[in-house]
Structure 1
Amino acid sequence: MLASAESTFPVDLAIIPPSTIMSTALRRSVFNIARTARVVAAPNRTTTLVRSAFVYKSYSAAAGLSREDVQTRVLDVLKSFEKVDPSKITTAAKFTDDLGLDSLDAVEAVMAIEEEFSIEIPDAEADEITTVQQAIDYIVNTPEAH
């Protein structure tokens, strides 16, 4: 992050909770906007590179999640969505057809699952996850999931 002797940008990135920034693309966008705004607001000031203020979870070893644990947590994440009828949630349920989510809601569901398991699913792979079972299978086969 670029910093100057006097901050002229109205939002300090250090105060944004990491949980509100869900994707790498969003983090990059926030970073670039902040950097551009500071440089534009103070073009004649000397700037220095400072370490990013984003906090990441780290673990000492793989959690070794069982399929049952993953299934329970994925179902719980989906139950937290207001638009989803909890009685319709099964492992075979499709996000759009069975749970009644539109495409944006389905993306939000996958993002919530990413957050629950502290992983980032690449966009191309996330687009392929259209059922609860596919989400469970992806998490089970991802060693970084916790």
Structure 2
Amino acid sequence: MASSTGSSMSVKCCPQRCLRSSLIYNNYALKSSVSFVRTNPRAPLRFRVSCAANTETVNKVSAIVRKQLALTEDREVTGETKFSELGADSLDTVEIVMKLEEEFCVTVEEESAQNITTIKEAADLIDSLKK
């Protein structure tokens, strides 16, 4: 059992090359891929979890964040981009979450909203709430 500290994320896994698993993030079950990878043959194995958010959702969340923060088209925004890297403060993050709720017709609990730091985390949460 692997778990991160300071958040409510946990993953059940066993040390295999790749394992499909269930990821629990703020009490929402998300599809995930758990893998153990090496960056080069001599490097130790690294534990990596990637959630399977719908690409369409990630793109839509990216577009909403880009619009809310008035970012130019040349500014790169990916799923791994943190809101703080884009210059968003806590008020901007609240406004982004409100816009996501409106756009996707979902309700995000305050506790969950406070833990969203990247585009992908927001998309994963949206996908889990839409089910």
Please report the TM-score for the alignment, with normalisation by the length of structure 2. Answer: 0.54
Structure number with higher helix proportion: 1
Structure 2 unaligned segments of length 5 or more: list them: 1-52
Paired residue secondary structure (1:121): coil
- Alpha-carbon contact 1:70-1:136 (below 8 Å) kept: yes
* Structure-2 residue corresponding to 1:75: 62
Q: Does the C-alpha gap of structure 1 residues 83 and 142 become closer, same or farther in structure 2, counting only changes over 3 Å?
A: same
RMSD: 1.7
Q: Does the C-alpha gap of structure 1 residues 76 and 104 become closer, same or farther in structure 2, counting only changes over 3 Å?
A: same
Q: Deviations over 1:106-143 (max 9, x none)?
A: 11111111111011101011111111110011011123
Q: Distance in 1 between matches of 2:64 and 2:116?
A: 15
Question: Deviating runs (4+, > 3 A) in structure 1?
Answer: 82-86
Q: Distance in 1 between matches of 2:98 and 2:79?
A: 18
Task: Provide the aligned length of Structure 1 versus Structure 2.
Answer: 78
* Structure-1 residue corresponding to 2:76: 88
* Structure-2 residue corresponding to 1:137: 124
Find out whether 1:119 has 2:102 as its counterpart. Answer: no
Q: Does the C-alpha gap of structure 1 residues 88 and 94 become closer, same or farther in structure 2, counting only changes over 3 Å?
A: same
Q: Does the C-alpha gap of structure 1 residues 82 and 132 become closer, same or farther in structure 2, counting only changes over 3 Å?
A: closer
Q: Distance in 2 between matches of 1:89 and 1:123?
A: 24
The one-letter code of the counterpart of 2:82 is K
* Structure-1 residue corresponding to 2:86: 99
Please report the TM-score for the alignment, with normalisation by the length of structure 1. Answer: 0.48
Greater RCO structure (CA 8 Å; 6+ sep): 1
The one-letter code of the counterpart of 1:121 is V
Structure number with higher strand proportion: 2
Structure 1 unaligned segments of length 5 or more: list them: 1-65
